Structure 1
Amino acid sequence: MPELPEIETSRRGIEPYLVNHKIIKAIVRQPKLRWPVSPQIIALENQPVLSVQRRAKYLLIELPDGWLVGHLGMSGSVRILPEFLEAGKHDHVDFLISGGKVLRYTDPRRFGAWLWADDLETCSALKHLGPEPLSDEFSGAYLLKKSQGKKTLIKPWLMDNKLVVGVGNIYASESLFEARISPLRAAGTLTGSEADNLALTIKRVLQRSIEQGGTTLRDFLQADGKPGYFAQELQVYGRTGEPCHACGELIESEKHGQRTTFFCRHCQR
C-alpha cells in the first residue's frame, strides 16, 4: 500500500502540472471504487486548480468551490500523461488538464477513492486524524504522553492514524529497527529518551524515503512512471531469513495485528 512518502512523492510530481492550470473535465470510467466517485467530480468542468496538498495518505486538490480528495488504496497510482494516450483496463478516472495533459488514476484492486469536500474541516475522511509525523506537533514528548499505560505492541500502535498519520507497515518496521526498539515490546514501556529517539527516527526515515521517491515493492510508481528507490535502503522490511546489515543475525518476522512485522532480535531491545 502506498504510504506517506509515496503520497507525498505523488503530490510533488503532479503539482506543477495542476497548479495555475484548469481541470477541463473528469472522465470517470469506473465510479464504483472503495466508495462511489462523488457526483460533483463526475460533473466537474473548467475548474482552476489553486493548490495540491496532502493530509495523511490523502491527496487534496483545491478548487474554487471545494476539494478533490483522493486516496490511492492498496494498489492505486496517479500519473501525468499525454491526453491522447489510450486508457487501459484499470485506468478508472482521468482529469483532463489545460495544456494537453491528463492526470490518470489507475487502481487494479479498486480500493482507492475520489471524493468531493466542500471544505476540509467538515470532510468525514479527514476527521479524527492524528498529527503529521513531519510536523513539530509530533515529538518525543507527544509519543511519551500517548504511550502511558498502553499495552498494545508498539508497531501496531504507531500505525494507528489517530496517534500519527502515514506511518504504515514499511516505515514502522524500518523506524523501530533504526531506533533499536523491539516491536515485541508494549508501547507503554517506552522511556523518555527512547520516545525522543523514535520520533526523530521516524522523521528521518520518512524524509529519506521522500527524497528517494518512495518505496516501490509491487504497484507504486511516481507520477512520471518511475519507481521509488527507497526499497534499496530497506534494512528489515521484507528481509525475513536474510542477515541483518548491522550484526549479521537473521531477520525475523511475526504477525502483529494482521500485518507482518520484520525485526532483528539481536539489534532491537
Structure 2
Amino acid sequence: MPELPEVEVCRLGIAPELEGEIIRAVVIRVPKLRHDIPPALRELLPGCLIVAVRRRGKYLLIDCRRDAVEGTLIIHLGMSGNLRFVPSELPPEKHDHFDLVLSRQILRFADPRRFGVVLWQPGPPAAAEAHPLIAVLGVEPLSADFTVDSFYAAISRRSAPVKPVLMDGHMVVGIGNIYASESLFRAGISPLRAANRISYLRYEVLFGAIRETLSDAIAAGGSSIRDYVHSDGGAGCFQIQAGVYDRAGEPCLRCGGVVRQVRQAGRSTYYCPACQH
C-alpha cells in the first residue's frame, strides 16, 4: 500500500501540473471503488479551477473552485492505486477507472484492486478536514505539531507492542508498515517491546528516527513495492536502501546479526534481534 512518503511524492509530482489548470471533463468508468464515486462529479468539476493540491495522511486533497461551486476532491490510492499523467488521446486500460481531463493531458487514476477512494467534500478547503475519513486522522509526523512530548504522552500509555501502535493512524498518520520497521531499526528499538516499556529518552531517539526515515523516503521517491509508480511512471528506490524491511535471513547492516521476520497484527515485521532491544 502506498504510505505517506509515496503519497507525498505523488503530490509533489502532480501539483505543479494541476495547480492553476481548468478541469475540462471528468470520466468515471466504474461506479464504485472502496466507496461509491459521486456521479455528480461529471457536472460539478468541469470548468473548475484547481486551486491547490494538498495531502492529509495518505489522502490527496485537490481543492477546486468555480462560480457557485467550491470543494475538495479527496483521493486515496488504496492498496494498489496510482495517479499518472497521460496524453489526451491515450485509450484507457483495464484498471483505469477515473480521469480528470485537462487542456493538454489527462490525470488518470488506475486501481487494480479497487480499494482506493474518489470522493467530494463541498465547501472551502478547511471543510475537507471535517470529512469523516479525514477528521479521525492523527498528527502529521513531519509537521510542527508533532513533538517529542506529545508523541511520548500519546504512545507511552499503550501496552501493545510498539510497532502496531506506531501504525495507528488515529495517533500519528502515515507511519505504515515499511517505515515503522525502518524507524524502529534506526532507533535500535525492538518492534516486540511494549510501548509503555520504553523510556522517554529512547522515544526522543525514535521521534528523530521517524522524521528522518520519512524524509529520506520522500527524497528517494518513496518505495516501489508491487504496483506503486510515480505520476510520470517512474519508480521509487527507498526499498533499495532499507536496513531491515524485506531482508529476512540477511546480515544486519549495522551489527552483522541476522534479520528476522515475524507477523504482528497481520503484517510482516522485520528487525534485528541482536541490536534492537
TM-score (norm 2): 0.95
Q: 1:90 corresponds to which residue?
A: 95
Q: How far off is 1:78 after superposition?
A: 0.3
Per-residue deviation, residues 207-258 of structure 1 (Å, max 9, x unmatched): 0110111000111000100000111111111111111111111110111111
Moved more, 67-76 or 253-262: 253-262
* Segments ≥4 residues shifted beyond 6 Å: none
Question: Which amino acid counterpart does residue 240 of structure 1 have in structure 2?
Answer: A
Q: 1:136 aligns with which of 125, 132, 144?
A: 144
Aligned length in residues: 268
The CA distance in 2 between the partners of 1:148 and 1:90, in whole Å, is 43
Equivalent residue of 2:269, what SS? Answer: strand
Q: 1:111 aligns with which of 104, 108, 115?
A: 115
Answer yes or no: is 1:224 the counterpart of 2:232: yes
Q: 1:77 corresponds to which residue?
A: 82
Q: 2:177 corresponds to which residue?
A: 169
The CA distance in 1 between the partners of 2:210 and 2:40, in whole Å, is 37
Consecutive unaligned residues in structure 2, runs of 5 or more? none
Question: Which amino acid counterpart does residue 219 of structure 2 have in structure 1?
Answer: E
Q: 1:247 corresponds to which residue?
A: 255
Q: How far off is 1:17 after superposition?
A: 1.1
Answer yes or no: is 1:48 the counterpart of 2:56: no
- State whether residues 140 and 198 of structure 1, in contact with CA within 8 Å, keep that contact through their aligned partners in structure 2: no
**What's the RMSD between the two structures over aligned residues?**
1.0
Answer yes or no: is 1:22 the counterpart of 2:22: yes
The CA distance in 1 between the partners of 2:175 and 2:273, in whole Å, is 22
Q: 2:38 corresponds to which residue?
A: 38
Moved more, 41-50 or 79-88: 41-50
Per-residue deviation, residues 138-158 of structure 1 (Å, max 9, x unmatched): 122112111233111100000
Per-residue deviation, residues 111-145 of structure 1 (Å, max 9, x unmatched): 00100001213311101211000012212211211
Consecutive unaligned residues in structure 1, runs of 5 or more? none
Equivalent residue of 2:236, what SS? Answer: coil
The CA distance in 2 between the partners of 1:268 and 1:82, in whole Å, is 49
Q: 1:181 aligns with which of 189, 213, 216?
A: 189
Answer yes or no: is 1:10 the counterpart of 2:10: yes
Question: Which amino acid counterpart does residue 35 of structure 2 have in structure 1?
Answer: W
Q: Kindly report which structure 2 residues correspond to 1:208-219, keeping only aligned pairs within 5 A, or say none.
A: 208-219=216-227
Question: Which amino acid counterpart does residue 58 of structure 1 have in structure 2?
Answer: Y
Question: Which amino acid counterpart does residue 14 of structure 1 have in structure 2?
Answer: I
